[in-house]
Amino acid sequence: MITHQSPTLPNELWFDALRYIHALEDMQQCRLVCKAWNSMTEEAVFSNNGITLLMSNTSMQKLHQRLVAKPSLCQYINEINLEMPFNADMELVVSIMRKVMDRNVKLITGGASLDSEIYGLLFGIAKESELKLARVEVVPTPSEFGDLYCRVLRIFKKSLKRMLLLFERGKASYMESIWSDLKEFESLEHISLQNLHFRDLMQLDSFLDRATCKSLKLIISASSINDAPVEKEAMNHWCQVRRMKQVHTVERLIFRCFDVVYAPEEDFSMPNLKALTIIDANLDTRVLTNLTTIAPSLADITLDTCVMSSDKNIWPVNMPHSSLDILTIKCDAPATKDDFDIHDMNDDFEDLYGDDVDKFEMCFKPGPRHLQMIRKHNMVLGNYAYLRLTLPNKSKFFRLSSDGSGVAISEDVFQSNYCRINPTFIFHFESLKVLRIRLGAFSVTLRFDENYNLKPQVV
């Protein structure tokens, strides 16, 4: 007699499938299928969600008891979140940490209130068996930066991918041990430097010379060198970043700077840079006009709360750039019902040229200094704006308005001569698929078909 058995999938494949389910309610239903699924589902829950110690001591006690009863669960945990309540039982936390700090842990995160006790614990566990934690990519940000934090960073230098260094006044010395060994952080992809306090600019250069990351975030204050004001000319000279061109690996650069004219010269080049974000900076117009030379591979640009400076005292944004896919311009301020932050810049707003731009997003919310600039140049604020959009072989005119409950947009062909004569914004694109404009807390998205006809509005 021949019997036929239905083919069954190996448990490993079922486990991989369960890892695509993230809703706990769905996971609970999966546990009811059979005994084998009950065990696999519990393991998948720990693998998908890791553990978060933001729970009551009673809940942590239950978690501890479960890990003691089934220690094999610890090998499935790859993320630990240390956002603990203020009254957390630290002995219980330490006991849980010693159990779950397994070789598969990659992410250790936490809130801003973590103290040195946690870093002492991490350092102690790692020193007991460095191979045990050989895959850690992220460690939590401490409430106070110091030598212990740097020791924790260094012990994970083979696997660490993200690093945050906060330079506190008078306490930069402990960071020297990090940047002297920076090339040993062979997996490092992202460095964030905040409140930069160096002895001098040359010391900062020596740090950047060692950087091998793909993402670099700089938050610079013009008065942050050696606890004394820096001559603006010296800071501007450094911001021309002649030496930063030595950081060949950077693909994403976030630059935040206060009261500094940022104007890279044409001989500066970041050939691999794909995304550039500039925040709170007084921008020289060459930042935009020279981007093709500076970053030929640049595909994503964000200008966030920036003030443009030029001989004309306007916002010129002529940007021929063949690789650009996304351009975002932001100016942030609290929204009000009557102020919907679109500027009527009259004749002062020059054309924006972006070859092959697939997505353009504009969100103007003027802050106090932008309001001063607007008044200075006789710009008009209102709850409406006119847009002229020039696409291949055709021009389109739009009127945008808001009554405080949303955004209304209408294609205005002949109803308003003002739209034709004096539009608020003029944009020229060789190619455009999506245009998104934010007015206050609301946004409107325009989508175009292959013939550049407007598709139904999506809000």
pTM over 0.95: no
End-to-end CA distance of the chain: 66
pLDDT at 248 (0 to 100): 55
Residue 126 CB partners (closer than 8 Å, separation 6+): 132, 133, 152, 155, 156
pLDDT at 357 (0 to 100): 40
Q: What are the residues facing 330 on neighbouring strands?
A: 304, 363
Tens digit of pLDDT at every position of the chain (459 positions): 455 554 577 777 877 777 777 777 777 788 888 887 878 888 787 777 677 766 678 888 888 888 888 888 888 888 888 777 777 788 888 888 888 887 788 888 776 556 677 788 888 877 776 556 778 888 887 777 777 888 888 888 888 888 877 766 555 556 666 766 777 787 887 777 766 555 555 565 566 666 666 666 665 544 444 444 444 455 555 555 444 444 456 677 776 664 444 444 444 566 777 777 777 666 665 555 566 666 777 777 776 656 555 443 333 344 444 455 555 555 433 333 233 233 333 223 233 333 334 444 444 443 444 334 333 333 333 445 566 666 666 677 776 665 555 556 666 544 445 445 455 555 555 556 666 655 555 556 667 677 767 666 544
233-242 contacts at long range (C-beta below 8 A, 24 or more positions apart):
234/201, 235/201, 235/260, 236/260, 236/261, 236/263, 238/201, 238/204, 238/205, 239/263, 239/264, 240/264, 240/265, 240/268, 241/268, 242/267, 242/268
DSSP 3-state of 225: strand
- Kindly list the strands in the beta sheet with 282-284, ordered across the sheet, starting from the edge strand earlier in the chain: 261-262, 282-284, 307-309
Q: Which of 184, 113, 123 is nearest to 149 (CA)?
A: 123
Q: Which of 295, 289, 300, 308 is nearest to 374 (CA)?
A: 308
Q: Tokens 């311009």, residue?
A: 329
Query: CA 146 to CA 443: how far, in whole Å?
Result: 44
Query: CA 34 to CA 55: how far, in whole Å?
Result: 30
